[in-house]
Amino acid sequence: MDSVRSDRPGSARRVPLALKILIAGGFGAGKTTLVGAVSEIRPLQTEEVLTDAGIGTDDLDGVEGKTTTTVAMDFGRISINDDLQVYLFGTPGQDRFWFLWDELAFGALGAVVLADTRRLADCFPSVDYFERRGTPFVVAVNCFEGAQRFGTDAVRGALDLDSDVPVVLCDARSRQSGKGVLVRLVEHVAARRGMTVSAN
């Protein structure tokens, strides 16, 4: 994962390596929140207001304060270090937008699957999707207040994850916490490729 250096004479400008990472997970797991929290640029969001038409389709248990939902994607960017920039693509959480996933996943280095332990089953489709594609992923448990805390081993067991898939706890509203999740993913991808990376 070397960064590219300009080969112009006298130029020492380093061009950082850019990676694409998906932020996936079930409806209301905190994907848009995470992309917004970690992004250095104003994130691109495609939020639409949840209306009565979604009653019976949009399960708001645990996220009753939620007023909008992502209808296409979130987009943000974060620098992990001087040599590495990550472009973040948040997926829409609802089944009716599955047709977008292949486009969003194209060229992705890896994915974060956000999980809410109150609705753990909602992240099964994301886990299945990345397992089928062979896309490396980490599961990040978004620790909503009031949600019963489960250890990472309990979540691993409940999702029947392979032993090498990292499971981490996070707060999707925290830049530092979100950045930690991304670093863990990059380390996981690097380890699978027999490389090491440093976040410093």
Sites of contact with ligand GTP (CB under 6 A):
25, 27-33, 63, 65-66, 69-70, 92-93, 142, 144-145, 171-173
- Collapsing DSSP to helix, strand or coil, 176 comes out as helix
**Nearest distance from residue 35's CB to Mg ion, in Å?**
8
Sign of CA dihedral 104, 138, 199, 37: positive
Confirm or reject binding of residue 39 to Mg ion (CB under 5 A): no
Number of residues that bind Mg ion (CB under 5 A): 3
Which region among 24-32, 119-127, 132-140, 146-154 touches Mg ion (by CB under 5 A)? Answer: 24-32
Q: Which residues pair with 81 in a beta bridge?
A: 84
- Which of 50, 187, 55, 31 has the alpha carbon at shortest distance from 110? 187
Q: Which is nearer to Mg ion, 31 or 179 (CB)?
A: 31
Site string for Mg ion, 46-85 (x = CB under 5 A): ------------------------x---------------
Give the burial string for 148-166 (b: 16+ CB within 10 Å, else e): eebeeeebbeebebeeebb
CA distances from 184 to 62, 102, 181, 189, 197 (A): 27, 24, 5, 9, 10
- Collapsing DSSP to helix, strand or coil, 59 comes out as coil
Residue 180 corresponds to which tokens in the numbers above?
Answer: 């930690």
**Nearest distance from residue 196's CB to ligand GTP, in Å?**
30
Q: Tell me which residue has its CB nearest to ligand GTP.
A: 93
Confirm or reject binding of residue 117 to Mg ion (CB under 5 A): no
**Nearest distance from residue 145's CB to ligand GTP, in Å?**
5
Q: Of ligand GTP, Mg ion, none, which one does residue 76 interact with (CB within 5 to 8 Å by kind)?
A: none
Q: Point out which residues bind Mg ion (CB under 5 A).
A: 31-32, 70
